[in-house]
Amino acid sequence: MVHGKKLAKESLLPSVLEDDDADTESEKLQLGEKRVSRTEVDVRGPKEQHSSPDGDVLDGGEREGEEEEEEELGGEEDYDTDLELGDKEEAYDPTGQTCYFEACEALQVVPASYLLRHMRNSELSMMHRGLGPQGTKALAVPLVTNTSILRLNLRDNWMEGMGGAAIAEMLKENCYITEVDLSDNSLGDYGARAIAAMLKENSTLVNLNLSGNRFTDRSAEHLGAAIITNSKLQHLDLSHNALGEQAGQTLGESLSENTGLRSLSLAWNCIRGRGAVLLANGLAGNIFLRTVDLSFNGFSKEGAAALGQALKENTVLEELNVSNNRIPPEGAIRLAMGLKVNKTIKSLNMGKNPIQNAGCYGILKSIQENPDSAMETLDFSDITVNQDFDDLYTAVKEIFPALTVNHGGRFGTFRKAKA
């Protein structure tokens, strides 16, 4: 029998998102699920056991008497996370090793020896270890009080929504971890909601990678609100998800009000149409972002035109990647209008777009006509150019000798070589 005293620290991780689907209720973070006597610690959760007025523990999570008293405990999403240790005190464990063993026993998972060996390190990297939801819950318990780990990498552990929620609850309490990688974990909308709730409270996280987690437009609604609230997070990766047109609108509105992010990746999503335009509008109003990756979306002509307008207004953005966005020559020309007046962009990646030689020429011409341009790198990968482009590049190099241009070759090069 696992004593409530042993699970005291585990009660720092209460159930999250109580109003979600029934199929996830059985997986919620109930680490202190075994009954304890009145002389042991009373670990309470919103759907766990409760004490009767005379102190006896009741089964099934119900009290004697009136059920209305449940609302006095905080309702559906108000949790009692205070530790009631009674008269007996335990030695403080800054690594959390003791409570990790107890959590593993309660959740019936095998302790990870790697974690035990590296609990005192400043960086914990546990990629591709198949922790799953239960293993992630157990791992989250010692991290609540661990004071050594500053960087946490849990990439590709199939933790799913409940595992992600456990890490989110831990990050609400831990004030030492500054970098977290939760990419490729299938967190889904459930996990996104928990992460968003954490970001509204956490004030130490600087770098967060949420790539490849099956986030949808519903996820963007939660994350967008968190982006407005959080001003400490500087680097956010939302690439390789399923964020669509509505997500573009939501995130665009959030970015216009965000005051913390320095870099953002939305690569490999499905942002297009009106969503692309509104996202670009949001970038126009942001005065903190330095690097934005929008590659492998569907900005097309309208989105490129909106980006061109954003570049006229934005005075801080330094790197922009819009490769593989189905941008036609007309879209590239519209984007180039912004480059004529922009004074901060240093790197622009337009590779793998069907902008043809005309689009490449128009962008390079806009650089030539902007004496205040800060451009250092133009990337036109897989786009062939002609002799006119080469001649213009030679002329521009005289004005901006540090400028480098990468392209997919020049028309006629291979024919001449063969001849």
Per-residue pLDDT 10s for the chain (419 aa) are 444 434 444 444 544 334 444 344 434 433 333 333 333 333 333 333 333 334 443 343 444 444 444 444 344 444 333 333 334 445 567 778 899 999 999 999 999 999 999 999 999 999 999 999 999 999 999 999 999 999 999 999 999 999 999 999 999 999 999 999 999 999 999 999 999 999 999 999 999 999 999 999 999 999 999 999 999 999 999 999 999 999 999 999 999 999 999 999 999 999 999 999 999 999 999 999 999 999 999 999 999 999 999 999 999 999 999 999 999 999 999 999 999 999 999 999 999 999 999 999 999 999 999 999 999 999 999 999 999 999 999 999 999 999 999 999 987 654 444 43
Strand order across the beta sheet in which 347-349 lies: 123-125, 151-153, 179-181, 207-209, 235-237, 263-265, 291-293, 319-321, 347-349, 377-380, 404-407
Instruction: Supply the pLDDT for residue 93.
Output: 73
Look up tokens 């509008």; give the residue.
Answer: 281
The two structure tokens encoding residue 242:
């399923």
Domain membership of residue 45 (yes or no) is no
User: b/e map of 31-69 (b: 16 or more CB within 10 Å)?
Assistant: bbbbebeeebbbbbbbebbbeeeeeeeeeeeebeeeeee
Quick count: other Cβ atoms within 10 Å of Cβ 71?
A: 10
Chain-centroid distance of CA 336 in Å reads 31
Domain membership of residue 81 (yes or no) is no
Domain membership of residue 130 (yes or no) is yes
If you ran DSSP here, which 8-state letter would residue 298 be given? B
Helices (H), 118-241: 132-143, 160-173, 188-199, 217-229
Domain membership of residue 360 (yes or no) is yes
Rounded to whole angstroms, the Cα distance separating 1 from 275 reads: 54
Rounded to whole angstroms, the Cα distance separating 171 from 300 reads: 39
Instruction: Supply the pLDDT for residue 92.
Output: 67
Instruction: Supply the pLDDT for residue 28.
Output: 42
What is the span of the domain harbouring residue 207?
115-418
Rounded to whole angstroms, the Cα distance separating 137 from 160 reads: 11
Domain membership of residue 17 (yes or no) is no
The two structure tokens encoding residue 230:
């959080």
Instruction: Supply the pLDDT for residue 410.
Output: 87
The two structure tokens encoding residue 341:
């007046």
Rounded to whole angstroms, the Cα distance separating 291 from 248 reads: 17
Instruction: Supply the pLDDT for residue 81.
Output: 35
The CATH number assigned to the domain holding 181 equals: 3.80.10.10
If you ran DSSP here, which 8-state letter would residue 272 be given? B
pTM of full prediction above 0.85: no
Instruction: Supply the pLDDT for residue 53.
Output: 38
CB 252 within 8 A of CB 280: yes
Instruction: Supply the pLDDT for residue 96.
Output: 84
Count of structural domains, the chain: 1
Residue type, 240: H
SS3 of 160, please?
helix
Rounded to whole angstroms, the Cα distance separating 345 from 83 reads: 52
The two structure tokens encoding residue 189:
């909308």
Instruction: Supply the pLDDT for residue 91.
Output: 59
Domain membership of residue 240 (yes or no) is yes
CB 294 within 8 A of CB 288: no
